[in-house]
Amino acid sequence: MPEKIGFVGVGRMGANMARRLKDCGYPIGAVYDVNLAGAATLALELGCPIASDLKTVTASCDVIFTVVSDDKAMKSIFNDSLLNRAKGKLFINCATVSPDIHVWVEKKCESKGASSLETCMASSITQARDGTLYLMCGGKPEVFERARPILAAAPRSAARAPRLMSAAYSSLLDNMMARGFAPPRIRARPSRIRVLGALLYYGLL
């Protein structure tokens, strides 16, 4: 049975990711956002509960996507009740935040018996809805393997970059797309040689 998915942060990007996973057969266990009206509208559309607090998302779901705005917002949710009774849970963090914050989040999660995966997105809102996002993931191999079936449902391609380096690779990928190049179709868990080779090929290193 598919793992139950929760979302913390359901602005335009988070909401479209939730819609995509729902379409792919994943049950959405709860959604949460500081914009309660927006979260309520999405919850009604998806037929799922709206969480009144962060600990409810964790209690209701096996895998929690966080899609928040910045370092401050990320620290706020993980310092709140998001990690209450989080043992065995997986947090997939899609926020555009600094590498130090991803390291901090990973340590916080592991201290509670949970797992964390840094997942930086290339492309944008439309691609989140139609499943053509490119994702660069940083984290432990076993955590990536657990997340891979879910990530495979949402984006066009997901690759595990060297640990906690996916933000840099994602930035390069965004620049490449802005210059009109098609992103290299790198399969999951590429070697560093293959990743660097693709970047050299497109003249980005």
The residues with which 38 forms a beta bridge, in sequence order, are none
| Least trusted range by pLDDT, from 69-78, 106-115, 165-174 | 165-174
Q: What pTM was computed for the model?
A: 0.79
Contact 14, 65 (CB under 8 A): yes
Contact 103, 116 (CB under 8 A): no
pLDDT at residue number 54: 98
Contact 92, 123 (CB under 8 A): no
For 137-162, write each residue's pLDDT tens digit.
Answer: 888 999 999 999 998 886 555 656 55
pLDDT at residue number 120: 81
Nearest to 66 by CA among 93, 90, 104: 93
Top pLDDT among 124 and 167 is at 124
Contact 143, 117 (CB under 8 A): yes
Structure tokens at 26: 């994943």
The position carrying tokens 């490119």 is: 134
pLDDT at residue number 104: 94
Tell me which of 3.40.50.720, 3.30.365.10, 3.40.50.300, 3.90.1150.10 is the CATH number of domain 5-201: 3.40.50.720
For 20-38, write each residue's pLDDT tens digit.
Answer: 999 999 999 999 999 999 9
Nearest to 137 by CA among 179, 97, 103, 167: 167
Residue 190: CA count within 13 A, CB half-sphere = 21
Q: Enumerate the H helices of the chain as residue ranges.
A: 12-23, 36-46, 54-60, 71-79, 99-111, 125-130, 141-153, 166-178, 192-201
- Name the band, by pLDDT with cuts 50, 70 and 90, for residue 188: very low
CA distances from 67 to 1, 58, 94, 124 (A): 25, 15, 5, 13
